[in-house]
Amino acid sequence: MHGNVRISGAKNSALPIIAASLVSTKKVILENIPDLVDVRTMIELVEYIGSEVEFSHNTLKMHTPKIKNFDAPYDIVRKMRASYYVLGALMARSNQAKVSLPGGCAIGPRPIDLHIKGMKALGVDINVSEGFINAKAKKLIGHDVNLQGPKGTSVGATINVMIAATGAKGDTVISSAACEPEVVDVADFLNVSGCHVSGQGTHTIVIKGSGSAKDVEYAVIPDRIEAGTFAVAAVLTGGSINITGCCPEHLASVLDKLEESGGRVTRKKNSMFVNGHGRKQAINVYVAPFPGFPTDMQAQFMALLATVPGTSTIKETIFENRFMQAVELMRMGADITIEGDTAVINGVRQLSSAYLMASDLRASASLVLAGLAAKGETIVRRIYHLDRGYEKFEEKLRSLGARIERQSE
Ligand code: UD1
C-alpha cells in the first residue's frame, strides 16, 4: 500500500467531549468530529437529554438550554458503553442522573466501580437498582479521590469524575488519574469552555469547581489509534504511507515497536511517513496505560507479527479476553498460542485468505489488515464493528491501493 492518508478526529475524545457539552447552557461548536456510528449514538443520547444538535462535515453544533430528560435509557447505552459519560455531565449540570448500567462486552467484563467511587467522593448519593445507576446530590462538593483500579488507571472514570467535578463546589483532586491524550483533550475542552482544570496529562488532576460559562469552539485531537492502524498497514504490506493530520507524539510507544520490528518511521509534528520495505524481526509487546503501548493497538500488531519471522509475544494487561482475533488469524494459517494474558506468535511466511468473523472494533481492523496481506480473497463478516471507530475505512484503504469492497450480508 502506498500514498497519503488523512486521519480523522479521535473517537475517544469526541464521545466524552460531546457528553461534557451538556454541562453548559452556552453554544458549543466542535470541529474534527469523526462521523462514526458511536458518535451518532452519542448525538442521539444528548438530543434525548435536551440538546439541539446539528452535525455535518465533521462539525457539530450543540446547544442545551434546558435538560428535558435526566436519564440515559438502556436502548442507547446497550449500543455504546461510553454513554456513561452523561452521568458526570448531568451531575455537574443538574445534580441528578439515571443511567442504565452498561453490560460487559466482547472484550471481557468491564466494571464501573471507579466511576461510582468518584461520584460518591463528590457527595453523590448512588444506588444501583433494576439495571440503572440512580444518582442524586443536593450539591456536589469537591473532594480528593484516588481512581487507581486493579489494572491501573481508568480513562473512563478519570474523564467522568473530571466532568462531574466541574459542577462541584470547591476543589477536586483526582490522584492515579489516567494520562491518555484523550483525557488531556477533554480537560482542554473544559478549560476553553470556562472551567478550571489543571494537571491533565499527569497522574494528578485538579478541578476547581466553577461550572462552565462561555460559548466555545474546539477541535478534537486526531485519532491516534486510526493513525497507528495505518502505520501497521504500511509495514504489514511492505508499502509506504504518508499519514497526515496525526500527532506522532501520541503514538511514541507504537512507533517505537514498529521500528523495532523493522518498519522505518519519519516523524514530523503533524504527520509521519511509514515505510515497511525493510527486513522484519520478531518483537515483544507489553500493553500498558499511556504512555505505554495501547491495548487498542495490540490486535493490529498481532496481524503484523503473524508474518514476521521468529517468535513474538504480546502481553495484554488491561482487558481479559482481548485476543479474539487470534483464532480468526489462526484460520488464515497464523501460528499463535494463547497462554493466559500472553499471545505467543510464531511468524509464518504468508497468511492465506479465509472467511472471517469480526468480534469487536480493533479485532475487526486486525482481520482487515491481515486480509490485505494474505494470499487470495478474504471475507470479513460483521464489519459493523468497524463503523463504530473508523471513518471511511475501506475508502481510505482503497485510496492507498488496497483492493477492498463492502458487500451487504
Ligand atoms: C477506554 C477506551 C478504550 C480503551 C481503554 C483503555 C473510550 C470510549 N474507550 O475504555 O478504547 O481500550 O480506555 O485504554 O475511551 N476498570 C475498573 N473499574 C472501573 C473502570 C475500569 O476496574 O470503574 C478497569 C477496566 O476493566 C480495565 C481498566 O480498568 O481493566 C482500564 O479501563 P478504562 O481505562 O476505564 O477503559 P474505558 O474507559 O472503558
Q: Is 105 a catalytic residue?
A: yes
What average pLDDT does the chain have? 95
* Mean pLDDT in residue range 102-114: 72
Residue closest by Cα to atom 5 of ligand 1 = 155
User: Of 105, 195, 246, 247, which residue is the catalytic one?
Assistant: 105
Is residue 339 exposed (0-12), middle (13-18) or buried (19+ Cβ within 10 Å)?
exposed
pLDDT tens per residue, range 168-206: 999 999 999 999 999 999 999 999 999 999 999 999 999
| Proportion of the chain above pLDDT 90, given as a percent | 91
Enter the C-alpha cell of residue 129: 437498582
pLDDT tens per residue, range 339-365: 999 999 999 999 999 999 998 899 999
C-alpha separations of 95 from 144, 169, 219, 224 in Å: 19, 12, 28, 34
Q: How confident is the model at residue 212 (pLDDT cuts 50, 70, 90)?
A: low
Q: Which atom of ligand 1 sits closest to the CA of residue 15?
A: 8
Q: Which atom of ligand 1 sits closest to the CA of residue 108?
A: 26
Q: Is 155 in the pocket of ligand 1 (CB under 6 A)?
A: yes
Q: Looking at residue 231, what is its pLDDT?
A: 98
Q: From 137, 135, 136, 71, select the one nearest 100 (Cα to Cα).
A: 71
Enter the C-alpha cell of residue 339: 497462554
Q: From 221, 209, 231, 230, select the one nearest 180 (Cα to Cα).
A: 221
* Mean pLDDT in residue range 330-344: 97
- Could you tell which of 146, 318, 366 is best to mutate to test the pocket of ligand 1, judged by most ligand atoms within 8 Å of the CB? 318
Q: How confident is the model at residue 210 (pLDDT cuts 50, 70, 90)?
A: confident
Q: Looking at residue 109, what is its pLDDT?
A: 63
Q: Looking at residue 111, what is its pLDDT?
A: 86
Q: How confident is the model at residue 135 (pLDDT cuts 50, 70, 90)?
A: very high
Residues 6+ apart with CB under 8 A from 359: 106, 324, 325, 328, 382, 385
Q: Is 15 in the pocket of ligand 1 (CB under 6 A)?
A: yes
pLDDT tens per residue, range 217-255: 999 999 999 999 999 999 999 999 999 999 999 999 999
- The C-alpha atoms of residue 263 and residue 285 are separated, in whole angstroms, by 15
Q: Is 296 in the pocket of ligand 1 (CB under 6 A)?
A: yes
* Mean pLDDT in residue range 203-213: 86
Tally of CB atoms within 10 A around 49: 23
Q: Is 89 in the pocket of ligand 1 (CB under 6 A)?
A: no
Residue closest by Cα to atom 17 of ligand 1 = 111
